[in-house]
Structure 1
Amino acid sequence: MAPPRPELEKQYMSSNSKPKNEIAEPKPSASILLISPTNQILLLHRVRTSSSFASAHVFPGGNLSASQDGEIPGLKDEGRHVDGSAYRIGAIRETFEESGILLAKKEDGSLLEVEEDIREKARKDIHAGKLKFQDWVKSLGGVIDSDALHPFTRWITPPNLPKRFTTQMYIYFLPLTQTSAQNIISAYIVPTPTSDGGVEHTAALFASCWDWLNQATKGEVMLFPPQYYLMHLLSPFLIPSPTPLSTQELQKQRDAVLGFLQGDGDGKGVKWADKVMSPVGLLMRKSDGRSVLSLEKPGPELVGSGRAGDAKRVVLVKFSKEGPRDVEVRWRKEVLDEEKREKL
């Protein structure tokens, strides 16, 4: 059981009142929703002593590093809260450090595969700052596959917290098949994801969105609102099957996801690549004690920018000492209508 965390509810509940202290600047970070060749998604189990998302299952990712990822947009830079090179490199670097899966390509376009002992040593050295990620990939004859990342929302921590992040989310599809230099089609073998030795994570595992959401509903795993919400959005497309799906069927699922990303979801004109979520507490339900979080606003840093979140959905969650439980995504109108009926 994780230790009590009295500030947990505040992490995703922002009141309408202004913060008493100066608003902290959100630190740039990035995460990847990594999709396997069978259209499962990777989650990492964070250690219970972590300063954020303790004991939860999360997507691989973390803070950007100027020494590793290149120039990070400054506080007043327009690119601070926009998809860019540093965010992409940081997302791929963190994924490698945390899971051992390297998203880099060779000259023939196939994914770069690295021997286990070389890969594991590099993970430790890069994490420790002894080795520059981009230089290491280049030394192996590879190129970081940043162009294959699909932006899928940004999350900005509410302004009432002392520690804040501006996190760019991406989707990356591991190849269904791979063509060698001799034009021979072969299956891409994904290295078994592993933890980082308990530094930040204790396990790394692929499972379907449906499986992860079901485990969270049963209380078997802990998912914070961003992870639950994003997998909820993907679950209608990446549907698991009791029998293996053909390459054509798997690709059809992926095409449906890519089509979804091109839409705005609520008629506000902001595509999923550009949506920004800064969760705000709408109300506390008396019926089940769950908080209702609105995802409509992008946060104070982007007021007047034209950016927006999701105006149609809300996230319901009960915050306990151990973490968020009973997480659910529902239509905003339905939830508000239920509250109106409760008051009659």
Structure 2
Amino acid sequence: MNTIPALPRAAATVILVRDLPDPSGERSPLQVFLQRRVPTMAFAAGMTVFPGGAVDPGDAVVPARIQGPAPEEWGRRFSCPPGEAAGFVGAAVRETFEECGVLLAGPSGPGSPLPDDAWLRAARSGLVDRTRTLADVLDGAGLALRADLLHPWSRWITPEQEPRRYDAAFFVAVLPAGQAADARTTEAVEARWWYPADVLAAHASGAARLMPPTFLTLTEIAALPDTAALTAAAAGNAERAAEPIRPALVRRGDRTVAVVGGREIAMP
């Protein structure tokens, strides 16, 4: 019997990167921050993923609090209405702060001080328990959302066969100077920095499990030498609208594969 596909929920994913020279000299310095989700999660349980999550109604931020491209420009980049694009951007900033403590925001004026660690911890907890919104956090400290720290990479829509579906905008963000990503989230059993080639090797051996969007994204960025090259590639993406990538799930004997642009990727 045919069933009506679930409507995809808007979401944002952040490819958080940094440069750390490899002491062995065998790998380029580009590293990416990844989390292994707890096995009880309703979606992508046990998978190794980038930080991210669904758009929340509280992610809307007034234009006066945004530094960088306006919602209209993000809408052009992600082939969607400005309001939807604004949700992607807000969710990207909120989820990155909630899940790994990196805040893509800064003083809204030259005289505005940066919040201290205690304030940041309290603001993060408020977002996690939903007693505060992103707008509350920014307004409370006179901060601006740094949309200029985000770079468009791709947009993925979950296959229609899946019971939980997402329409996710993928952004690149370089770790801001003076900040550190951590593993203090209840949604992951571990979180750390990886060289892309290492996590792809772990996936090949079965030590890590990657969903098709994560696998393909890591494959793309593994070919780049450093964060400068990655942000330059993302800038090239910004010059053209990102048409949504819609994988199709196909049975191949006793296994299921995701077909993306004619390429078959085994489902974990």
Q: TM-score range by the shorter chain?
A: 0.7 to 0.9
Matching residue of 1:300: none
Amino acid at match of 2:93: I
Matched, 1:234 2:202: no
| Contact residue 28 and residue 80 of structure 1 kept, 8 A | no
Amino acid at match of 1:280: A
Matching residue of 1:59: 50
Give the C-alpha shift of residue 257 in structure 1.
2.5
Matching residue of 1:206: 193
Matched, 1:48 2:39: yes
Aligned length: 241
Matching residue of 2:6: 24
| Contact residue 44 and residue 201 of structure 1 kept, 8 A | yes
Give the C-alpha shift of residue 114 in structure 1.
4.4
Matching residue of 2:208: 221
| Contact residue 14 and residue 171 of structure 2 kept, 8 A | yes
Matching residue of 1:248: none
Once residues 210 and 106 of structure 1 are traced to their aligned partners in structure 2, the CA distance between those partners, rounded to angstroms, is: 36
Matching residue of 1:316: 265
Give the C-alpha shift of residue 226 in structure 1.
0.9
Once residues 256 and 2 of structure 2 are traced to their aligned partners in structure 1, the CA distance between those partners, rounded to angstroms, is: 22
Q: Secondary structure at the match of 1:29?
A: strand
Matching residue of 2:244: 276
Written as runs of structure 1 = structure 2, the 5 A alignment for 1:126-165 is 126-165=127-166
Matching residue of 1:294: 259
Deviations 1:275-330 (A, max 9, x none): 3211114562x7xx66443223xxxxxxxxxxxxxx6xx2421x4xxxx1xxxxxx
Q: Secondary structure at the match of 2:36?
A: strand
Flag the structure with higher helix content: 2
- Between the aligned residues of both structures, percent identity stands at 24
Give the C-alpha shift of residue 108 in structure 1.
7.0
Amino acid at match of 1:33: I
| Contact residue 23 and residue 159 of structure 1 kept, 8 A | yes
Once residues 70 and 263 of structure 1 are traced to their aligned partners in structure 2, the CA distance between those partners, rounded to angstroms, is: 26
So what's the TM-score if we normalise by structure 1? 0.62
Deviations 1:180-206 (A, max 9, x none): xxxxxxxx232241231x2x2222211
Among candidates 15, 25, 35, match of residue 33 of structure 1: 15
Q: Secondary structure at the match of 2:179?
A: coil
Amino acid at match of 1:34: L
| Contact residue 249 and residue 258 of structure 2 kept, 8 A | yes
Deviates further, 54-63 or 126-135: 126-135
More RCO (CA 8 Å, sep 6+):
2
Give the C-alpha shift of residue 126 in structure 1.
1.2
Amino acid at match of 1:216: H
Q: Secondary structure at the match of 1:55?
A: coil
Give the C-alpha shift of residue 149 in structure 1.
1.1
| CA radius of gyration, larger in | 1
Give the C-alpha shift of residue 237 in structure 1.
0.5
- Which residues of structure 2 form unaligned runs of 5+? 21-29, 63-70, 72-78
